[in-house]
Chain A
Amino acid sequence: MQCRKNFDTFLKNTVNLSQAKLTLLEVRVEAIYKALKADSELGSLIRGKRPQGSWAQRTIINPVGDSEFDADFMLHFTENTEWADSPKTYIDKVYAALDRHNIYGAMPHTRKCRCVQLSYANSMHVDIVPYLQLADGREVIVNRDTNTWEQTNPAGFTAWMQEKDGIANNNLRKVIRLMKYLRNHRGSFTGTRSIILTTLLGECVEEIKKLMDPGCYSDVPTTLLTVVEDLDRWLQERPCKPSIADPSGSGVTFDHRWDQTTYSYFRARIHAHAREIREAYDEPDYDRSVRLWRKLFGDAFPGQPSAAASLTPTVAKFATPLLITTTSRTGRAG
C-alpha cells in the first residue's frame, strides 16, 4: 500500500527540518549578513545574499541525532580587480571580517574549500560561500584549494529544480528528502554527495512519463516508487560511472565529486531500494505494508493506525458520545 498518510507524518515529524530550525537559520544568516555588510573593509564589496544548496532548494533534512545541521548561503560580491589573480582572497577576507567581529570572532569559524564555516554552539553551522559575477559575465564561486574560480549558475539550478518539482506535482523535493534520509540516517549509499543525488533523482522526472503513466507522480510514495525505479533502470544500464552534468547549465560536471567505488555502491543500493519500495508499495495488507516501509526507513516510519480508524473519533480530553459524523469532510472540497 502507499500509506500516504504515514509518509505525510514521517516527513513532517521525522525527515523535514522543523520550521523552528528553519526560522532560526534565517535569523542567523540575516545577522551574519548584516555584520559582514557593516564591516569597514568588506562591506562596500557586498551586494547581497541568497540561500544555496539544500536550504535554497528546500531539500534540507533533520540531522542524525545531535549532529549539526548546516545551511549554505551565497555572499554576492562586487569583483575586486586587485584580487583577480587570487580568488581565494574572497574567502580569506570573509574569514578575517568574522575574526574582527565582536561576536563571531569568538565563535568557531574556519576556512573550507569553497566557503567559510561559522559554527554555533547549539548544533548548527552556516557556510558562507563567496559568489561573484565576473566582468566577462561568468558566475563563479571560489575554490580555495586550487585558488581558482568555479563556474556556477544558482538561478539555473533553482529553475531546473522548480521545473522538475512542478512536473512531479511538488513531490520531487519530498522524495529527495526521503532519499537523503536513507543515506544519512539509514547508512545507505554513503559517500554520494547531495548535489549528485539531487541531480540524478531530478533528471529521472520527465513530463512524458506522466503521459505514458498518468498518476505516476500523484503523491509522495508513488513518486518515490516511480523515480527510484526509473533511476534504478538508468543505473543498471551503466555499470561504469557516467558523467553527471550540472543541470543548471553551468557547463561543469560533478564527476570529480565521486569515484567508481562510490558509484558502484550507490548503484547497488538503489537497485535494492527499488525492489524494497516496490514490495512495500504493492503489499495489499496495511500492517504488512507498514512493516515493509519500516524495513526501509526504520522504526521512525510511523505505524499509525490504519486509515479505517479515521472514522472513529480520536481520543479527546473531554469524552463525547460516539456519533456517526456526516463525513470526515476535511479531505473533501467543493
Chain B
Amino acid sequence: MNYLILSGSTHGEKTRQATEALKAQLELQLNPDDELTYLNLQDLDMAFSDGRHPMDWRDDNAKVIAAILASEIIFIGSPIFQASIPGSLKNVFDLLPEHALERKTIGLVITAGSPRHYLVAEQQLIPILNYLKAVVVPKYVFIEGREFAGDGLASDDIQFRLQNLIQDTQQLAQAYQTVWQAEDESFGF
C-alpha cells in the first residue's frame, strides 16, 4: 500500500505536530512492502495553480501532485484559519485533475483553535474531496490547541483517536480495494 501524509499548513506548529504524531504511529504498523511519504507544505515552495495540466508542473508542485496520484491512502492534516481550510491546502486541490482522488481513501486530522470550528472540515473540506472522487473516512480527528504541549501532542486521548483513524482508513481502503478488484475482473478485459 502507498501511503501519503500531507500536512496542509504553511505556518504554525500544530498541524505539523499532529501529522508527525500520526506518522510515528503509522510507521509502527507498516508492512515491508508499504511505502510512506510525508510532505509538509511548510517545507515546500509551491506555486499557485494557473490552470495548466498537472503533468506540466515542475519542482515542488510536480512533487506534490505525483505523490498524491501515486498514493492509495492519504492522510490530510489541515488547520482551520479564519473559519476555513488554509489557502495553501486549497491550492493543492486546485492543482489536481478532477479525478485525482479516484480509488484513494482519505483520513483527516484537523487542528483548530476553537471547538466552534468542528464543522469546517465537514462543510468545506469533505465536499472538495468528494468532488475529486475520494473515499473519505466519515470520522475525523479534531484537535484543539489545549491538546498540545511542548513540541507535540500531550493527550493520550488524541493518540488513541489517531490510532482509530489509521485503522478506520486502512479497513475502508482494504474493503474498497476488494470491491474494485472484483469489479475490474468482472469486465473480462
**A joins B in a complex:** no
